[in-house]
């Protein structure tokens, strides 16, 4: 896939959500502006050297099995929700998308349904 042609105008303007998309080999295809601010320009480069062996195993499992990985982290004064999920083309896993959303320290939880 030609990473220079991926466009996501609405994603580029999210100020508290980093969006990063990679292919099956972990090569970054797209970063919104927030991802670029946090991670630097990784487009066209593999994200694998930036991760520990444990993280690389998780990434490979998500891609291989089409699984989702979601968790929260604290980084300095920020709390973030990390949501990693496969993206598909014609029913086949083509890579991963990661959403890194800044969340408040206290956040309400509602049960609906």
**What pLDDT, on a 0 to 100 scale, did the predictor assign at position 6?**
64
Q: What is the mean pLDDT of the chain?
A: 90
- Is the pLDDT at 65 greater than 70? The verdict is yes
**Radius of gyration from C-alpha coordinates of the chain:** 15
- The residues that bridge with 48 in the sheet, in sequence order, are none
CB contact at 8 A, 32 and 14 = yes
Calculate mean pLDDT across residues 47-57.
92
Distances (CA, A) of 100 to 57, 79, 89, 90, 105: 20, 10, 23, 26, 15
Residue 6, phi then psi, degrees to nearest 5? -75, 130
- Is the pLDDT at 4 greater than 70? The verdict is no
pLDDT digits (tens, 9 = 90+) for 16-47: 899 999 999 999 999 999 999 999 999 999 99
Calculate mean pLDDT across residues 68-82.
94
Six-digit token string for 77: 């004064």
């Amino acid at each position: 896939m030609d990473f220079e042609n991926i466009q996501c105008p609405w994603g580029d303007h999210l100020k508290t959500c980093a969006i990063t998309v990679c292919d099956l080999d972990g090569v970054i295809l797209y970063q919104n502006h927030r991802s670029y601010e946090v991670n630097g320009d990784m487009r066209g480069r593999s994200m694998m050297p930036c991760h520990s062996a444990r993280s690389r195993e998780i990434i490979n499992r998500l891609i291989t099995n089409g699984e989702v990985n979601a968790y929260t982290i604290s980084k300095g004064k920020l709390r973030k929700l990390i949501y990693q999920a496969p993206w598909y083309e014609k029913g086949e896993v083509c890579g991963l998308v990661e959403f890194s959303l800044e969340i408040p320290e206290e956040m309400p939880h509602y049960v609906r349904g």
